[in-house]
Structure 1
Amino acid sequence: MRIREFVGQDWSQVWPIIEEVIRAQETFTYDPEMTADAAYGTWIEAPPGRTVVAVDGERVLGTAKMGTNRPGPGAHVSTASFMVDADTRGRGVGTALCRDALSWARRQGYAGMQFNAVVQSNRSAVELYRREGFEVVGTVPGAFGHPTLGRVGLHVMYQEF
């Protein structure tokens, strides 16, 4: 597996990953009815941000986007989001994407990375981020409507560089 910059022809494999994740309504706060065009505009980061794919040969296994968390006085903090194909979860793709995003953010000179809305019940993501040095700095109770668990919390997670 290698991680490389997203190119236009990757969209045909990236969109099904995004579509599956948002339609499940278990881990992302995106509108489950989001169209491919709207998703492209949301997921593909313009410079100085970055969008990448994790690939095995020509197959896209997962994707990440990263950039500045907030403009102006908050521009020294980065953020990132990750989605992994359902068939390849548990094989280290998410870890590799997270490490790539952290490395990128450090190279860009950010002071840290913040995740704004990590679904509390998404244990695999929370554990991954903790292993990679993030901590939960706050939780908004009941801020996420999970399809089977009801309202669960959204964590804000942070790692200072």
Structure 2
Amino acid sequence: MISIRPYQESDWPALWPMLQATFAAGDTYTFAPDSTADEIHKAWIELPRSTFVACDGDGTLLGTYYIKPNQAALGDHVCNCGYVVSSAARGRGIAPQMCEHSQTQAVLMGFRAMQFNFVVATNEVAVKLWKKMGFEIVGRLPGAYRHQRLGYVDALVMFKTLVE
């Protein structure tokens, strides 16, 4: 059984290696592959409005997501989220559960929509999942992502209205 709960600072020792491995791959996020723990802690934990972790029944961290306003002031009714699932937990349905959870949390926080600003187009698993979760591709940024293996690839902007 998977549970999703708010991040606690005691989660950081298990969370940092998961985030570090994801960002070091250089194929899904714009963080520098050699980002430091302090840089990622600020971006993933300190700056977002909330950060959550997904755990198994033993408390092992399987994934994480953050939620924050996508823009300031007059655009702060649209949120942005980032999701990471540990390599050992992929294929177990963690990302869809975190996405559902994040949409519920977003509405509870007063957000009316969710926008993913920079989905790497070659991340076909994520693109397929977000479409399945009701997100639409509303924009394509040609060559906007410098993929570590493939060079310059497109990034997608994906959007979903949560509250009419």
TM range (shorter): over 0.9
Is the CA contact 1:68–1:79 (under 8 Å) kept in the aligned structure 2? yes
Q: Which runs of 5+ in 2 are unaligned?
A: none
Q: Which amino acid aligns with 2:155?
A: L
* Structure 2 residue 83 is matched with structure 1 residue 82: yes
Q: Which runs of 5+ in 1 are unaligned?
A: none
User: 1:98-152 CA deviation, whole Å, 9 max, x = no partner?
Assistant: 1111111112221200001000000111111111110000010111111222211
CA RMSD of aligned residues (A): 1.1
Is the CA contact 1:45–1:66 (under 8 Å) kept in the aligned structure 2? no
The match for 1:50 is 50
Q: Which amino acid aligns with 1:153?
A: D
- State TM-score, norm by structure 1: 0.96
* Structure 2 residue 141 is matched with structure 1 residue 147: no
State the shift of 1:62 in Å: 0.4
Q: Which amino acid aligns with 1:74?
A: G
- State TM-score, norm by structure 2: 0.94
State the shift of 1:22 in Å: 0.6
* Structure 2 residue 19 is matched with structure 1 residue 18: yes
The match for 1:73 is 74
Q: 1-side partners of 2:104 and 2:131: how far apart?
A: 16
Kindly, what percent of the aligned residue pairs are identical? 38
Aligned-partner SS, 2:130: helix
The match for 2:98 is 97
Aligned-partner SS, 1:13: helix
Aligned-partner SS, 1:64: strand
The match for 1:119 is 120
Q: CA 1:86–1:113 in structure 2 vs 1: closer, same or farther (change >3 Å)? A: same
The match for 1:32 is 33
State the shift of 1:46 in Å: 5.3
Segments of 4+ moved more than 6 angstroms: none
Q: Which amino acid aligns with 2:30?
A: T
Q: How many residues align?
A: 160
Aligned-partner SS, 2:149: coil
